[in-house]
């Protein structure tokens, strides 16, 4: 029998065009083909922890765990809600789309986990702490001002700092108890232009993440040279106040912003993310090594497609998951894959009012889907995904609209609308910037089955919608949605379960299940 090396097998598979994951048990980039941006990562023993950005979604700042850097599960959120102002609660015409919290930083110090972030929506900086992620709740400290894209750093002498800013990076010392800026502590600009090593002109110099390796300090930032791509720049110094020297260390496919992590066996990886159209900002792992005291990222300067790490077991159930809404006594009301679009009104949703169903009840009049409260969401993912739901519409009221959404500024909806005493299944397309009812089909059943399929392959970014009367035979409805990553929302498309009233509050719908594949 002829035995082939794993490297040769990979080469044969690539040249043949066969799906690599079906042939070789090797990890692939992106490590998560879904919107997991602004990643910050640490290793504690043999376990990796990662925090990310979900901005206006609640609960917020997801913390994920992995044993192999590839297969991740959400284990916690640092907060349930960030505050209760009009923007966060979708009241009085205000919203927090694209804002909320950004660019968290996760650290481990003296037996305690810390996650910090900031919010322009509240004007505050936040630091959460716990000794046992997923077991003990997070304790919150907040203070003003809001320090943009900061990195939290516990120095060897016991002092604690933040480095923050865009291009002009400032070092500020915190009080020992982390409750605010230390009076009389260090507060100085340490780098005048963090983007300088990537060229004379750049629109970015932010996303700071600071590490100490072999006695030296390494500060990672993202830049974006004019006419170029997202780029990784690193500055190094012997002490935190400087002097700092900078270097462009990685530039490929726009994969940038993040930091570094090592494995128990001594290997190093850079964790970064890539803007990838409407699916969002997707995380990559890039092998790296050290040369002359600098990180050298990439394989021949490139982000490889294949990684010498265990293969992915799939996104389900770690990052997204189907839900039959059946709950046992000790189950969480909602698994961690779910997040509400803005702060929820908790008395208006339930998984216990009708056993085995999610009930959404309306309480006010809304005229637009993105203004409606209590839309329950989870990520789409690539290269292709399909999400479907079954919904009992018996208790809708005149003017109600409920169903399955693809949530972004240019959203798409398929659902049941109750108008002039009659129900219809409708498809709404908002890719023009305003919602248009593309197709309406009379509906006189108790239960509707709805589906939305997404294709993110090679930035195709299209979605199609379906309905079914029996949950088995699916019929297309409406037209194709050309999905677009819109900066006002600053987030990849999400599946959403929604119900809102346009005439009479108090109606409800019951979702029997949501299934994703």
The enclosing domain of 226 has a CATH number of 2.115.10.20
The number of residues in the chain equals 517
Asked if residue 21 has pLDDT above 50, the reply is no
Between 329 and 327, the higher pLDDT residue? 327
351-403 pLDDT, tens per residue?
999 999 999 999 999 999 999 999 999 999 999 999 999 999 999 999 999 99
Place of tokens 């830049």: 223
Average pLDDT, the chain: 94
pLDDT at 307: 97
Between 362 and 15, the higher pLDDT residue? 362
- My answer on whether 369 and 228 are in the same domain is no
Asked if residue 434 has pLDDT above 90, the reply is yes
**CA distances from residue 66 to 31, 135, 339, 394 in whole angstroms, order as listed:** 12, 16, 21, 43
- My answer on whether 300 and 397 are in the same domain is no
Asked if residue 4 has pLDDT above 60, the reply is no
Query: How confident is the model over 245-274, as a mean pLDDT?
Result: 97
- Structural domain boundaries, residue 299: 23-307
350 belongs to a structural domain: yes
Contacts (Cβ under 8 Å, ≥6 apart) of 360? 348, 349, 374, 376, 402, 497, 498, 499, 508, 509, 511
Domain count, the chain: 2
pLDDT at 135: 94
2 belongs to a structural domain: no
pLDDT at 325: 98
- My answer on whether 363 and 266 are in the same domain is no
Query: How confident is the model over 302-306, as a mean pLDDT?
Result: 97
pLDDT at 391: 98
Q: Is the pTM of this model over 0.85?
A: yes
4 belongs to a structural domain: no
- My answer on whether 381 and 502 are in the same domain is yes
Share of the chain above pLDDT 90, in %: 92
427-446 per-residue burial string, b: 16 or more CB within 10 A, e: under 16? bbbbbeeebeebbeeebeee
- My answer on whether 234 and 167 are in the same domain is yes
Q: Degrees (nearest 5) of the Cα angle 39, 455, 67?
A: 35
- My answer on whether 420 and 281 are in the same domain is no
Place of tokens 């998951």: 321
325 belongs to a structural domain: no
313 belongs to a structural domain: no
pLDDT at 9: 41
Spatial distance between the Cα atoms of 370 and 306, rounded to a whole number of angstroms: 39
317 belongs to a structural domain: no
pLDDT at 1: 37
Asked if residue 19 has pLDDT above 70, the reply is no
- My answer on whether 303 and 343 are in the same domain is no
323 belongs to a structural domain: no
């Amino acid at each position: 029998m002829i035995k082939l090396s794993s490297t040769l097998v990979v080469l044969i598979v690539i040249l043949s065009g066969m799906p690599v994951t079906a042939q070789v048990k090797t990890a692939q980039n992106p490590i998560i083909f879904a919107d997991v941006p602004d990643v910050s990562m640490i290793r504690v023993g043999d376990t990796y922890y990662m925090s990310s950005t979900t901005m206006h979604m609640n609960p917020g700042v997801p913390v994920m765990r992995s044993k192999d850097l590839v297969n991740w599960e959400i284990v916690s959120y640092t907060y349930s809600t960030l505050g209760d102002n009009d923007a966060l609660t979708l009241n009085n015409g205000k919203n927090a789309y694209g804002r909320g919290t950004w660019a968290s930083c996760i650290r481990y110090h003296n037996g305690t986990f810390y996650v910090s972030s900031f919010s322009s929506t509240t004007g505050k900086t936040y630091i959460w702490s716990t000794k046992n992620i997923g077991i003990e709740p997070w304790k919150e400290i907040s203070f003003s001002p809001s320090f943009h894209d900061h990195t939290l750093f516990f120095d060897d002498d016991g002092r604690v700092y933040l480095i923050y800013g865009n291009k002009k990076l400032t070092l500020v010392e915190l009080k020992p108890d982390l409750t605010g800026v230390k009076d009389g502590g260090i507060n100085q600009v340490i780098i005048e232009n963090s983007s300088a090593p990537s060229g004379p002109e750049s629109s970015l110099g932010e996303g700071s993440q600071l590490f100490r390796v072999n006695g030296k300090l390494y500060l990672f930032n993202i830049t974006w040279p004019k006419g170029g791509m997202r780029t990784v720049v690193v500055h190094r110094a012997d002490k935190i106040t400087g002097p700092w020297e900078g270097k462009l260390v990685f530039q490929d496919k726009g994969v940038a912003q993040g930091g570094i992590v090592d494995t128990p066996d001594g290997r190093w990886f850079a964790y970064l993310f890539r803007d990838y159209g409407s699916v969002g900002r997707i995380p990559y792992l890039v092998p790296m090594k050290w040369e002359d005291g600098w990180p050298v990222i990439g394989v021949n300067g490139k982000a490889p497609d294949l990684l010498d790490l265990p293969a992915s077991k799939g996104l389900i159930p770690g990052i997204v998951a189907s839900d039959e809404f059946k709950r046992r006594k000790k189950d969480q009301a909602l698994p961690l894959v779910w997040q509400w679009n803005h702060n929820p009104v908790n008395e208006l949703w339930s998984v216990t009012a009708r056993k085995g169903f999610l009930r959404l009840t309306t309480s006010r009049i809304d005229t637009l889907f993105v203004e409606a409260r209590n839309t329950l969401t989870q990520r789409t993912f690539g290269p292709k995904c399909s999400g479907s739901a079954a919904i009992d519409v018996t208790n809708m009221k005149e003017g109600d609209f409920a169903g399955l959404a693809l949530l972004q500024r240019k959203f798409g909806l398929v659902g049941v609308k109750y108008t002039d005493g009659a129900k219809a299944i409708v498809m709404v397309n908002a890719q023009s910037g305003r919602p248009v009812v593309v197709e309406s089909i009379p509906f006189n059943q108790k239960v509707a089955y709805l589906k939305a399929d997404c294709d993110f392959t090679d930035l195709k970014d299209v979605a199609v919608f379906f309905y079914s009367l029996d949950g088995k035979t699916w019929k297309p409805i409406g037209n194709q949605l050309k999905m677009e990553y819109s900066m006002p929302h600053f987030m990849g498309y999400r599946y959403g379960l929604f119900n809102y009233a346009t005439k009479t509050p108090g109606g409800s719908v019951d979702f029997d299940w949501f299934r994703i594949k």
